Amino acid sequence: MQKLEAPFKDLQATNINTFLFFSEIQGRFVVDEDGTVVGKLADLKLRLGELFPTVATLVVKKRREKKLLELDWQEVQSLNTTMIRLNPGACKKFRPLEVNPQEILLRDELLDKQVVDTFGAKIERVNDIHLLIVNRDLRIVHVDYGIRGILRRLGWLKAIDFLTNWLFAYQFEEKMISWKYIQPLPSGPAKQNLKLNVTSRKIHEIHPSDLADIIEELDQISRSTVFRSLDLQTAALTLEEVDPKLQLRLIESAPVELVSDILEEMAPDEATDLLADLPEEKQQKLIRTMEKPSREAVEELLKFKEGTAGSIMTKDFLSVRKDKTIGDAVEEFRKTVYPLESISYIYVTDQDNRLVGVSTLRHLITCEKDATLGKLMNTHLVKVEPEDNVNTVASLFKKYKFMALPVVDKEDVLKGIITIQDIMQSQL
């Protein structure tokens, strides 16, 4: 029998508080109360749910047995970096390994895999796992993604530390992320989003632009799983940000109902751009499933050719009749539940919906409540038609430095607006 080098950490003592790395106990001997070897520690099973989840069972590989066995963590009496000692009589309590959706295997599903760091909004690879023994429980606290984790597992850490200290008086930094910011990813096509759902609330804290970057970097399975776990609004915002080629892939991988719900959440012009790239059949199917206001907006926008003002304009704008007062306009503003793309201008129309002037947010805030818009509005209008070329529109933006431009048809009826974001996107 090997001589014990490291002191035992007695788990029976309740005041013990020690950190250890998974690599320091993985593959070590599991022995019974007499010190006879039972098997080797193959894995640890974690029960998800708490902020810092506890290890539920230890997974043991016995010699000449193919199947892995598990044993409750409570049966561990003490451990050190050479062996894990069990309670008396624990050997009879082994049972075949089973993993529920709320459980995760450290070695099989976390170590060496990719995870999302929701705090730094980045994807990292797990090099080691940092555990804490507190009150008899073993809890996961950090994920190690630095070079030290790799060196520790290779067994080179001490040698390299010595070398770098001696040569440069430097030591590689410890790089760890707290478990509360870790989002594990699915490991294969077999088990899909179940596990993600338990923990996916973390991922909603990431800004949609960062989420889009993350999704672009993931493999196809994780990508669609993460995407489907998002709430509708986050999904819509994220979808707007990802690469157009990937947008299609994501849409194809998700069920039609979900996609049409997401499309409704998106700005109509963005949704239209996306739909325009889809095959005819899929496009029609999705439009049919969408709810009325969004559907109509999208259907109208789809009629315009690519590269024209009509194809990039948005229908989200505020227009008020010219006989209405400032108070009415403010009320109108309040009633608009969906987010407007541009709130810089309020468009003023006559009774036939023809554009006659424009008023600004400044008027709404500074003017008397009962003043009519018709008197305040600016009637010198710069406007474009849906058939106008996008480049022409862009040069108008450059010349006048507006935040948005109205789009009108031949009869001056207001059809939509083009915001500075729309034009920037079309010019990139």
**Which residues would be at the binding site for other proteins (CB under 8 A)?**
111-114, 124-125, 127, 145, 150, 153-154, 187-190, 218-221, 223, 245-246, 249, 252
- Look at the block and give the residue holding tokens 């996008």: 390
| Least distance to other proteins, CB of residue 79, Å | 22
Rounded to a whole number of angstroms, the minimum distance from the CB of residue 123 to other proteins is: 9
Say how far apart CA 342 and CA 310 lie, in whole Å.
17
> Closest Cα to residue 361, out of 300, 401, 403?
403
CA distance linking residue 27 with residue 404, whole number of Å: 64
Residue 10 vs 112, nearer CB to other proteins? 112
Least distance CB 116 / other proteins (angstroms): 13
CB of 298 to other proteins, least distance (A): 25
DSSP state of 417: E
Task: Specify the long-range contacts of residues 362-369, CB closer than 8 Å, at least 24 apart.
Answer: 363/326, 364/326, 364/329, 364/330, 364/333, 367/326, 368/326, 369/325, 369/326, 369/327, 369/330
CA 422 to chain centre: 24
User: Using alpha carbons only, how large is the chain's radius of gyration in Å?
Assistant: 31
Q: How far apart are CA 304 and CA 294, in angstroms?
A: 16
DSSP letters, 309-362, are HHHH-BS---EEETTSBHHHHHHHHHH--SPPS--SEEEEE-TTSBEEEEEEHH
Nearest approach, Cβ of 220 to other proteins (angstroms)?
A: 4
CA distance 230 to 212: 12
Cβ proximity to other proteins, 123 vs 376, nearer residue: 123
Residue nearer to other proteins on the CB measure, 182 or 329:
182
Report, in Å, the least distance between residue 295 CB and other proteins.
27
Minimum gap (Å) between residue 247 Cβ and other proteins? 12
